[in-house]
Chains A and B, each alone.
Chain A
Amino acid sequence: MQKSKTLKAISMKQLFNPFNKIAGAKALIFGAIISIFTLTVSLYSHSAFDGVLDFHKAPYITIWPYLSFYLISWLCLVFYFGLAGILLTRTKFRWLDLLGTTLFSRSPLLIAALLCFAIPFIDQQQIKDISKIHFSVSFFIASGLSLLCIIWTIALYYNCYRVCLNIKGTKAIWSFILVMILAEATSLIMIRSLHF
Chain B
Amino acid sequence: MEKRLPNLCPSCNAPLYVEVLHCKQCHTKVTGDYPLPNIMLLPPEDLKFILAFIKTSGSIKLMAEKMSLSYPTVRNILDDIIAKIENLESYFHEATI
Contact = CB atoms under 8 A, between A and B. Distances in A.
A101 B71 CA distance: 12
Given A21-B69, A24-B71, A163-B72, 13 more contacts: A20-B70, A20-B73, A21-B68, A23-B71, A91-B75, A91-B76, A92-B75, A94-B71, A94-B72, A97-B72, A163-B70, A166-B72, A166-B79
Given A91-B79, A166-B79, A23 B68 contact: no
Contacts of A101: 72
A134 to B, nearest CB: 48
Interface in B76-97: 76, 79
B70 A93 contact: no
- Is the interface on chain A under 10, 10 to 19, 20 to 34, or 35 or more residues? 10 to 19
Interface of A: 19-24, 27, 90-94, 97, 101, 163-164, 166
B68 A166 contact: no
A113 B69 CA distance: 31
Nearest to B83: A90
A92 B73 CA distance: 12
Contacts of B76: 91, 163, 166
Q: Taking each of A97, A101, A166, which has the highest tally of chain B beta carbons within 10 Å of its own beta carbon?
A: A166
Nearest to A21: B70
**Chain B contact residues, majority secondary structure:** helix
A19 B71 contact: no
Contact of B70 (A23, A90, A92, A166): A23
Interface in B8-57: none
Contacts of A91: 75-76, 79
Contacts of B79: 90-91, 166
Contacts of B71: 23-24, 94, 97
A66 to B, nearest CB: 30
B69 to A, nearest CB: 6
B72 A93 contact: yes
Contacts of A164: 72
Contacts of B68: 21
A91 B74 CA distance: 12
Q: Taking each of B69, B72, B79, which has the highest tally of chain A beta carbons within 10 Å of its own beta carbon?
A: B72
Contacts of A94: 71-72
A90 B75 CA distance: 12
A131 B70 CA distance: 51
A24 B70 contact: yes
Nearest to A167: B76
Contacts of A97: 70-72
